Amino acid sequence: MSTTDLKNPSSSPTASLLTEANALRWEMGEEYHDSLMEGIYEDAARIADRSVTRSGERRRFNLDRAIDHLVTSKWTGFPFMFLVLAVVFWLTVVGANVPSGLLADLLLDTVHPMLKGAMQSVGSPWWLTGVLIDGAYLAGAWVVSVMLPPMAIFFPMVTLLEDFGYLPRVAFNLDALYRRAGAHGRQALTMTMGFGCNAAGVVATRIIDSPRERLIAIITNNFSLCNGRWPTQILIASIFVGAMVPAHFAGLVAAGGVVVIAVLGVALSLVVSWSLSRSVLRGEASAFSLELPPYRPPRILQTLYTSLIDRTIIVLWRAVVFAVPAGIVIWLVGNVTIDGVTVAEHFVNWSNPFGLLIGLNGVILLAYIIAIPANEIVIPTVLMLTVLTSAINGVGAGAGVMFEADSTVATAEILRGGGWTALTGICLMLFSLLHNPCSTTIFTIYKETGSVKWTALATLLPLGMGFVVCFLVAQGWRLIAGG
Amino acid sequence: MNSTFVLIVLLFLLVVLLGFVFWPGKGIVPRMLLARKEKSRAHLEDVLKHAYDCQYRSVACTVESIAGILQTSIGNASQLVTRLESMGLLERDGSALHLTSDGTSYALRIIRIHRLWERYLADETSVREADWHRYAERQEHLLSPADANALAARLSNPQVDPHGDPIPTATGEIPIVPGRLLTALEEGEFGRVVHIEDEPPEIYAQLVAEGLYPGLQLQMIQRRPDYVRFEAEGEEVLLATPLARQVSVTLIPEERRKRGPFATLTAVESGRAVVVTAISRACRGQQRRRIMDLGIVPGTRVTPELDSLTGNPRAYLVRGTLVALRKEQTDQIFVEPDAGVA
């Protein structure tokens, strides 16, 4: 364009062309985008018909449909889904025991005393050894040994199911529920992922493209009982719920108790989704489209590699980063004394009345505060604190040092010694389901939403619900049982 | 010694407090002043918009009508008018008020932002239809013209807002929308809805509930003094005349008429192949793009393959791929039987 054009645009040929184009735009109307798209598809289809030959497609097709009818039909769809999920969880819980034990042997029972000995031999003062080895190292090592094996089993299995094409069918089956809750059908997938690890579940919400529905999925992911909480549920259920019935029913009833808690979590995630989509996150449901890909043999090696790198390692690294400072805090509250009494005891005594009001106790409240990096270290912290505050002799590994009892019976003795009842057990199971997400998940929520407000809501909402539910259960229980 | 220390601390606190109250841009007082200024600017802009609207509908704009629109006193309204006059945006002619040419382009700028924002809410967000207007009323005073242009570019320069009102261009041009009132359509004629008046909101909500939206094709069946009856998307709709007057339509020439009958994809029984004839214009923005991205465009063969437990969602075979769609989407996809199969 020459300088004269710039100075006097109205007379230039370019400007008059633009004006004409603008006028034509109004005449053309809005539908030309659609017509363009139709045209492209028409051309593409014509070219494909001319140059692509299809043979033998019919047969493979029918096999797919046969599987689809099995996994989505009225009578077999849901039982099949529960069966698959049950097998995945069973393999995770049972299969993780062996490598977890090996890692614990190595990191906790061998390396830990070795490091402690080495520190003492170079003449480090007791408090430095305590903070670094009993605090920071122990917490980090504990998190690795209890988190790594279940995640390394659970995530590859889920990824294999996804790769095979089954998970989209689960979303298809469950979409009706989520639609009524005002949420996206793919939330079923992120919820399943949350059963493995909530932080991974929150990352998985990236598959939901509507921001509103994605936030709902992020906030409610914590209601999926994660790997770190299953062992707590199983332990407490077998000690307190199983003990309420005759011995030969104990196992069954305890398992039933855990299932009830997990199902309650799913139900609450739907209820909370429903109320969120009618209050702070109200809006219209976005277009739901879900591709149901053809079934294909999973690529095992690739799946192992990506699920280990993408999910397990990242989540584990974050957990360790948070566990190390928390380990230091755990050791300090057990060892720093004010007026001859440890900080832990001060807090436990002060918060105990409130804890009892909601069916818990001061030890549990403190454990949930200082064991925020990982749900896995809640029970070791509870045991350490119980021994510390109730003066039980002969067990434990010293003030501020987390430990696990050798057997369920030994754990039960320690907890009963700490004044625990069946009500404490049930309320702990409920509180384990309904409390703030672990710090790794909170940090992940912040990274994914980029908002302090939503992170705070996702953190405080389940905590508030936990207080209310535990309070109601405790008061109801005491009213009926007269305790 | 001790009292000096206390005095220093108190003075320090006082300085902090003063900073908190008066800090330029961030303190409480500057913020309150700014908020007041913005509120009064919003009022001035609302007056200009109202004046433009009066001009557009050829009714008189007066101090009284301004007071009514802003829900404020006559005194307040006349103060606003005086200020606009001194700014050279408004002229008084007896009791009637007119926009100057500067005033018109200012008003169009505000209207442009309002309609762009409504378009953005409709296409890109999941904000409910009933909230669009209210949110846009707030946003129109906050967005700068540069922001508005960036938004327009992002939305690929839409021409009309979701109610069918034309969006003024960045240079302040606004076309006269062709069309006549729905009540002026002769019996038997085909029309396409081009505009639905979005005020008052209660009436607008009623029209939306009747299934009307810009782009809807309809055929007038019966026209009476107190009501009209027409067919749209295979259903008969009866509308009282006051409601029908809120709707404008254009005549559709024979060759651009969409073919009936209008069966939706939802109603097709499983396993029966159909061909898509149209996607309802009520399906907009991202949702429309997503459906078309899946390859569902007029002419595509679609077969319902798989029912879920409740029948919603259903999975459809589209171009060799199985895709699950909710009923809310398939209700907006019109089909006819596949001639090749039947």
Strands B263-264 and B321-325: unpaired
If you count residue pairs, one on A and one on B, with CB atoms under 8 Å apart, how many are there? 123
Whether B276 is in a domain gets the answer yes
Say whether residue B27 is in contact with chain A using an 8 A CB cutoff: no
In a domain, B239, yes or no: yes
Residues in chain B: 342
Q: Do B329 and A175 lie within an 8 Å CB cutoff?
A: no
Asked if residue B143 is part of any domain, the answer here is: no
Residue B249 lies in a domain: yes
Domain of residue B293, CATH code:
2.30.30.90
Q: How far is A55 from chain B (nearest CA, A)?
A: 13
CA distances from A300 to A158, A160, A316, A391, B110 (A): 12, 7, 22, 52, 58
Tens digits of residue pLDDT in A397-454:
677 778 877 778 888 888 888 889 899 999 999 999 999 999 889 999 999 999 999 9
Last residue of a domain, one of B82, B99, B116: B99
pLDDT in tens, B262-315: 788 888 888 888 988 888 877 877 778 888 888 888 888 899 988 888 888 899
CA angle A292, A298, A303 (to 5 degrees): 110
In B110-149, the residues whose Cβ lies within 8 Å of chain A are 125-129
- Residue B43's CB is within 10 A of a number of other CB atoms, namely 18
The whole-angstrom distance between A160's CA and the closest CA on chain B is 20
| Residue B244 near residue B258, CB atoms below 8 Å | no
Q: Are residues B279 and B250 in the same domain?
A: no
Q: Which of A236, A237, A162, A150 lies closest to A197, judged by CA? A: A150
Find how far residue A19's CA is from the centre of its chain: 57
Query: CA of A415 to nearest chain B CA: how many angstroms apart?
Result: 46
**Considering CB atoms only, which of B126, B297, B323 is closest to A41?**
B297
Q: What is the pLDDT of residues A372-404, one digit of tens each?
A: 888 888 888 898 888 888 766 666 667 777 887
Q: Hey, which of A363-377, A419-433, B325-339 has the most confident mean pLDDT?
A: A419-433
Which residue of chain B has the CA closest to A209?
B286
The DSSP line for B258-315 is PPS--EEGGGSPTT--EEEEEE-TTS-HHHHHHHHHTT--TT-EEEEEEE-TTS-SEE
Integer Cα distance of A224 and B94 in angstroms: 71
Q: Give domain status of residue B94, yes or no.
A: yes
State how far residue A180 is from chain B, nearest Cα, in angstroms: 11
Residue A54 pLDDT exceeds 70: no
In B, which residues are within 8 Å of A37 by CB distance?
292, 297
Q: Residues of A with CB below 8 A from B325's CB?
A: 288-289
Task: Write out chain A residues lying below 8 Å of B286, CB-based.
Answer: 286-287
What is the per-residue pLDDT for B329? 87
Whether B285 and chain A come into contact, CB under 8 Å, resolves to no
Is residue A6's pLDDT more than 60?
A: no
Say if the ipTM goes beyond 0.90.
Answer: no
Cα-flanking dihedrals φ and ψ of residue A2, to 5°?
A: -85, 170
How many domains are there within chain B? Answer: 3
Could you please report the per-residue DSSP string of B175-215? PPPP-EEGGGPPTT-EEEEEEE---SHHHHHHHHHTT--TT
Interface test with chain B among A276, A279, A292, A295, by most B beta carbons within 10 Å: A292
Give the whole-number percent of chain A exceeding pLDDT 70: 92
Using the Cβ of B300 and the Cβ atoms of chain A, whether some distance falls under 8 Å is answered with yes
| C-alpha to C-alpha distance for A88 and A227, rounded to whole angstroms | 12
Q: Are residues B184 and B250 in the same domain?
A: yes
pLDDT over 60 (residue B342) = no
**Residue A43 at interface with chain B, using a CB cutoff of 8 Å:** no
The verdict on A36 touching B (C-beta cutoff 8 Å) is no
Instruction: Identify the closest residue of chain A to B311 by CA–CA distance.
Output: A176
Optimal mutation site among B120, B157, B326, B327, interface A, most CBs of chain A within 10 A: B326
> Which chain A residue lies closest to B286 (C-alpha atoms)?
A287
Q: Could you tell me the pLDDT band of residue A1, with boundaries at 50, 70 and 90?
A: very low
Phi-psi region of A298 (alpha: psi -120 to 50; beta: other; left: phi over 0): beta
Chain B positions in Cβ-Cβ contact with residue A42 (cut-off 8 Å): 299
Residue B238, H or E segment: strand B235-240
pLDDT value for A360? 92
H/E stretch holding A311 reads: none
CATH code for the domain in which residue B69 is found: 1.10.10.10
> What is the rounded distance in angstroms from the CA atom of residue A300 to the CA atom of residue B134?
53
User: Could you tell me where the DSSP H helices lie in A277-308?
Assistant: 300-306
Whether omega before B200 lies within 30 degrees of 0, making that bond cis, reads yes
For the residues of B127-185, what is the DSSP string, one character each? --HHHHHHHHHHHTTT--HHHHHHHHHHTT--SB-TTSPBPPPTTS--PPPP-EEGGGP
Give the gap in angstroms from C-alpha A296 to the nearest C-alpha of chain B: 14
Structural domain of B32: 28-99
Q: Pick the closest to residue A471 from A417, A434, A420 (CA basis).
A: A434
Report chain B's C-alpha Rg in angstroms.
Answer: 27
Q: Which residue has the tokens 């692509």?
A: A52
- Decide: A196 and A227 in contact? Cβ < 8 Å: yes
Cα distances (angstroms) measured from residue B261 to each of A466, B242, B275: 55, 29, 12
Are residues B95 and B35 both part of a single domain? yes
The 10 Å Cβ neighbour count of residue B194 is: 22
* Residues B289 and B324 reside in one and the same domain: yes
Cβ distance A72 to B292 less than 8 Å, yes or no, reads no
pLDDT of residue A30: 67
Asked if A78 has any chain B CB less than 8 Å from its own CB, the reply is: yes
| Rounded distance between C-alpha atoms, residue A176 and residue A172, angstroms | 8
**B290 in reach of chain A (CB within 8 A):** yes
Cα B110 from Cα B118, distance rounded (Å):
12
**Nearest CA to CA, how far is A31 from chain B (Å)?**
9
Radius of gyration of chain A (CA): 28
Residue B79, domain member (yes or no): yes
Residue owning tokens 């989509």: A277
With respect to residue B293, please indicate whether it lies within any of the assigned structural domains. yes
pLDDT (tens digit, 9 = 90+) per residue, A297-327?
888 888 888 888 777 887 788 788 888 888 8
The distance of B269 to chain A (nearest Cα, Å) reads 16
Q: Is A431 helix (H, G, I), strand (E, B) or coil?
A: helix
Q: How many helices (H) and strands (E) does chain B have?
A: 11, 14
Query: A175–B326: do the CB atoms touch at under 8 Å?
Result: yes
Average pLDDT over residues A3-12: 49
- Per DSSP (E only), the strands in A13-87 are none
Interface of A with B in 132-191 (CB under 8 A): 168, 171-173, 175-176, 179, 185
Decide which of B99, B117, B134 is a domain's last residue.
B99
Q: Would you state the pLDDT for residue A214? A: 92
Q: Are A144 and A316 in contact (CB under 8 A)?
A: yes
Q: Is A27 on the interface with B (CB under 8 A)?
A: no
Instruction: Check CB contact under 8 Å for B324 and A77.
Output: no
Are the C-beta atoms of B247 and B212 separated by less than 8 Å? yes
Q: What is the mean pLDDT of residues A250-263?
A: 87
Instruction: Please provide residue B248's backbone torsions phi and psi, each rounded to the nearest 5 degrees.
Output: -110, 145
Confirm whether B151 is domain-assigned: no
Tell me the pLDDT tens digit for each residue of B168-209: 888 777 776 677 888 888 888 888 888 888 777 788 888 888
Of the listed ranges A24-33, A277-286, B124-133, B267-276, the one predicted with least confidence: A24-33
Task: Give the CA distances from residue B224 to residues A166, A403, B185, B221, B241, in Å, rounded to whole numbers and listed in that order.
Answer: 58, 86, 11, 10, 8
Q: What is the pLDDT of residue B260?
A: 63
Lookup result for tokens 């038997």: B188
**What is the 3-state composition of chain B as percent helix, strand, coil, each rounded to the nearest 5?**
45, 20, 35
Q: State chain B's mean pLDDT as an integer.
A: 84
- Domain end, chosen from B205, B225, B254, is at B254
Q: Do B329 and A289 lie within an 8 Å CB cutoff?
A: yes
| Segment B327-336 mean pLDDT | 88
